Amino acid sequence: MSVGLSPPIVVLPVKGIRLSSVCANIYAKKRTDLTLIELSEGSHVSAVFTRNLFCAAPVQVAKLHLQEYKPRYCLINAGNANAGTGEQGIKNTRSTCLALAGLTTCLTGEVLPFSTGVIGEILPVDKINLALPELIKNLSSNSWLDAAKAIMTTDTIPKAVSKEIVFGDTVVTITGIVKGSGMIRPDMATMLAFIATDVNINKDLLDKILLSAVNKSFNRITVDGDTSTNDSCVLISTSKAKNKCINDEATTEYKLIESEVVNIFCELAQAIIRDGEGATKFLTIEVKSGKNEKECLAVAYKIAESPLVKTAFTASDPNWGRILAAIGNSGIQDLDINNVQVYLDELCIVENGQRAPNYAEAEGKRVMLQDEILLTVNLGDRGECNEKIWTTDLSHEYIRINAEYRT
């Protein structure tokens, strides 16, 4: 079940990108689980990865390959995370990269590997390598949606966003796919994200756009507060569009492409939350009037990751005392609670650190029954910083999904 999310209908091809997905029999049930993304020669690639110290073998290998090579392929498997597998995991990842290189004109280091699935299981290298010829044969510019389906794990719906923008007389395309549903927490979430554009832009500015976009999107979501071992986010520019190369961030063209990429990232990030494991609510938490980003996010995440708050939302129970407790436990030592205000949508429920004089619980219940809710916390006159994150409630279905994940 997802909240306000529908399957993508039109996913636009990006010049210079071809994709393919096949069944490599990594899962016990038959489904597509292996994907290849081919990048045209000369493409720029920017990427960020999980900060979890137990990062998976493919993350380690991809980081090394990015340091020395210009990638030509992304090889992605679902059903097996290849994490917690030691040196054998590294060897297995390199083996799949080597096998793909042997079937194409690329070098082993020009392959970026990605995995998602169960942690601690040995990667089925033979199955993956056996499926590579079919994967290469089926490459097509129109296979974005197939790829979005193949990288899913506990996701209930494929996630893809596409847009065309105009630079003068040049049309530029941006298309992205993402997977992620649980084990979601910034730095970055149990997610794999692949976003490509044909805009002509230099590598340094592409790097800058990626960091800006991730900070405003994938590092602003949480389902359960757990950061995965395999998180990876890749931004690709094939430079196949005919616009003059963007080399200056002060230009109108740069500002436009940055804005549109950020919007795509935010849509994909919110899609993860809307499809969060067991989610029945899509919650936006906005903290206003903070001194800085750090304290605003501290309050937002303390609320978003409180099991008591999340289960109250599941029950549509306007138990505002749980919200106050989370705010007070967010680590702001000099917070004047008498200046704090809390709103559910436009309804003020807390004012001057206590229940608002005109608040009626029936009105709070009315808002809590909605599928989508905005929770706003105003910290008073501490500063001008405002920050926003997205999260879910915590339902019985979340527990079932994770209790049965390996059974």
- Catalytic machinery residues: 190
Residue 79 bridge partners (DSSP): 117
Q: Return the biggest CA–CA distance within the chain.
A: 72
C-alpha span between 38 and 194 (Å, rounded):
12
Q: CB-based contacts of 230: which residues, under 8 Å, 6+ apart?
A: 50, 55, 56, 58, 59, 81, 83, 114, 115, 116, 190, 192
Token pair recorded at residue 225 = 């507060």
Pairing of strands 111-118, 159-167: unpaired
**CA–CA dist 401, 8 (Å, integer):** 24
- Can you tell me the distance from the alpha carbon of 221 to that of 173, in angstroms, rounded to the nearest whole number? 26
CB 76 within 8 A of CB 34: yes
Q: Kindly give the interhelix angle for 57-68 and 86-103, rounded to the nearest 10 degrees.
A: 50
Phi and psi angles of residue 186, each rounded to the nearest 5 degrees, phi first? -50, 160
Q: Report whether the peptide linkage leading into residue 368 is cis, meaning its omega lies within 30 degrees of zero.
A: no
- Cα–Cα distance, 32 to 80 (Å, whole number): 13
Give the up-direction half-sphere exposure of residue 139: CA atoms within 13 A in the CB hemisphere.
Answer: 16
| Rounded Cα–Cα distance for residues 391 and 360 (Å) | 25
